[in-house]
A and B are shown apart, each in its own frame.
Chain A
Amino acid sequence: MSTETSTLDRIVSPAQRELWYRSYRRFAAQPMSIAGAVIVGGVVAIAVLAPVIAPYPEHVGSYTDFANAFSPPSLAHPLGTDSAGRDILTRVIFGYRLSLMLAATVLGIGVPVGVLLGLVAGYTGGWVDAAIMRVTDTFLALPPLVLALAIASVFEPTIEIAIFAVASLWWTWYARLTRGLAASQRSEQYVQAAELAGAGRVHIMLREILPNCLSPLLVKVTLDAGIVILTGASLSFIGLGVQPPRPGLGTMVASGTSFLPQQWWVSIFPGFAIFVLVLGFNMLGDGLRDMFDVEVEQ
Chain B
Amino acid sequence: MGISLLGLSVLVFAISRVLPGNPARMALGARASEEQVAELAAEMGLNQPLPVQYVDYMSGLLVGDLGQSLQTRNPVLEDLLFKLPATLELITMATLFMVGIGVPLGVVAARNRGGVFDNATRVFAFSAVSVPSFFIAIVFQVAFGYYLDWFPITGRLSLEYSEAVSRYTGFMLVDTLLEGSITAHVDAWSHLVLPALALSFGGMGQVIRITRSSMVDVEGKDFIEASRGYGIAGWLVAYKYSLKNAFIPTLTIIGLLYAWLLGGAFIVEIVFGWPGLAKYGVQSVLTTDVNALVGVTMVIGLMFVVTNFIVDLILDWIDPRIQLAGDTA
Contacts and interface: CB of A to CB of B under 8 A. Distances in A.
Interface string A249-281: 010011001001100100110011011001101
B281 A146 contact: yes
A260 B132 CA distance: 17
Given A233-B132, A261-B147, A32 B263 contact: no
A40 interface: no
Contacts of B122: 32
B16 A150 contact: yes
A238 B132 contact: no
B215 interface: no
B286 to A, nearest CB: 7
A171 interface: no
Contacts of A250: 132, 134
Given A257-B138, A298-B206, A279 B126 contact: yes
Interface in B266-285: 266-267, 270-271, 281-282, 285
Contact of A153 (B142, B263, B270, B285): B285
Contact of A275 (B16, B135, B266, B304): B135
Interface in B74-105: none
Interface of B: 3-5, 7-8, 11-12, 15-16, 18-20, 122-123, 126-127, 129-135, 138-139, 141-142, 146-147, 206, 259-260, 262-264, 266-267, 270-271, 281-282, 285-286, 288, 293, 297, 300-301, 304-305
Given A146-B281, A250-B134, A282-B130, 13 more contacts: A134-B7, A142-B301, A143-B260, A146-B263, A146-B297, A149-B282, A150-B293, A150-B297, A154-B15, A237-B267, A238-B266, A253-B138, A260-B146
Given A32-B126, A138-B4, A143-B262, A253 B134 contact: yes
A226 interface: yes
B127 A272 contact: no
A145 interface: yes
Given A151-B15, A298-B206, A271 B138 contact: yes
A129 to B, nearest CB: 15
B3 A134 contact: yes
A250 B271 CA distance: 13
A240 B134 contact: no
B263 A144 contact: yes
Nearest to B143: A261
Contacts of A149: 266, 281-282, 285
B262 A146 contact: yes
Contact of B146 (A32, A137, A261, A268): A261
A36 to B, nearest CB: 9
A135 B304 CA distance: 16
Given A151-B15, A238-B270, A239-B286, A141 B305 contact: yes
Interface of A: 32, 134-135, 137-138, 141-147, 149-155, 226, 230, 233-234, 237-240, 250, 253-254, 257, 260-261, 264, 267-268, 271-272, 274-275, 278-279, 281-283, 286, 298
Contacts of A274: 132, 135
**Residue with the highest number of chain A CB atoms closer than 10 Å, among B138, B141, B146, B260:** B138
A153 B286 contact: yes
Nearest to B146: A261
Contacts of A237: 132, 134, 267
Contacts of B133: 234
Contacts of B15: 150-151, 154
Contacts of A282: 126, 129-130
Nearest to A154: B15
A142 B15 CA distance: 15
Contacts of A152: 285
A271 B263 contact: no
A143 B263 contact: yes
B323 to A, nearest CB: 22
A135 B7 CA distance: 8
B202 to A, nearest CB: 8
Given A141-B301, A149-B266, A261 B286 contact: no
Nearest to A295: B213
Contacts of A279: 126-127, 130-131
Contacts of B134: 233-234, 237, 250, 253-254, 271
